[in-house]
């Protein structure tokens, strides 16, 4: 991947721009206890995936309205749990660099609008373009979110870099035709230790 081929950057939120892993795990652990599901089983599939998709995986066969209510409950548990939500290492440095270079960027998240606003606000990050689960019909690993983000930035997805820390998100980025940068030891066109490294590369 040549950095000169990148004309926009599409970021995942949780675990990528915003360190909210502890809050996410607390919410899913509480939710699991409420719904009588093994928390470790839930946490094994939850990271980066839309809440409703996770509910369908661990409680298959629910009526759509019941499934939606269960997903809404999971979001509800997270809205005010912001005490340890902070930007990830290198996030502000990287965003400042993108601004200086004139490279547009967007956030594409499996969270809903309220949760995304709360977490990004806690981390001091203000995206001009934000795509949430409420803006699309199909969440990650489907590419719709990243395709929508690229469209809103006016850049072909094939000229975008998707930055992710979850396998479902990397699958979505690859399916959109974008370059991918992977955190947390995952495999992408770039393997990153943190966002400081990506800033240096760009």
Give catalytic residues, as residue numbers: 12, 14
CA distance 29 to 192: 28
| Strand ranges inside the chain, DSSP E | 8-11, 18-19, 86-87, 105-108, 130-131, 160-164, 179-182, 190-191
CA distance 144 to 39: 29
For 177: left if phi > 0, alpha if psi spans -120 to 50, otherwise beta; the answer is: left
Residue of 126, 181, 137, 141 whose CA lies nearest to 8: 181
């Amino acid at each position: 991947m040549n950095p000169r081929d990148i004309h926009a950057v599409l970021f995942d939120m949780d675990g990528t721009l915003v360190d909210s892993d502890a809050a996410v795990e607390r919410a899913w652990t509480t939710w699991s206890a409420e719904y009588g599901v093994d928390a470790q089983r839930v946490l094994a599939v939850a990271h980066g995936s839309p809440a409703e998709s996770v509910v369908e995986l661990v409680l298959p066969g629910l009526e759509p309205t019941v499934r939606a209510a269960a997903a809404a409950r999971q979001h509800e548990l997270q809205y005010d749990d912001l005490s340890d939500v902070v930007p990830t290492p290198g996030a502000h440095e990287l965003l400042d660099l993108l601004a200086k270079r004139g490279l547009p960027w967007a956030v594409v998240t499996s969270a809903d609008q309220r949760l995304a606003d709360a977490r990004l606000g806690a981390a001091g990050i203000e995206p001009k373009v934000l795509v949430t689960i409420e803006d699309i019909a199909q969440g990650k690993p489907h590419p719709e979110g990243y395709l929508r983000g690229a469209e809103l930035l006016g850049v072909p997805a094939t000229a975008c870099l998707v930055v992710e820390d979850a396998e479902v998100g990397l699958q979505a980025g690859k399916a959109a035709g974008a370059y991918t940068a992977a955190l947390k030891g995952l495999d992408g066109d770039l393997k990153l230790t943190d966002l400081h490294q990506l800033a240096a590369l760009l």
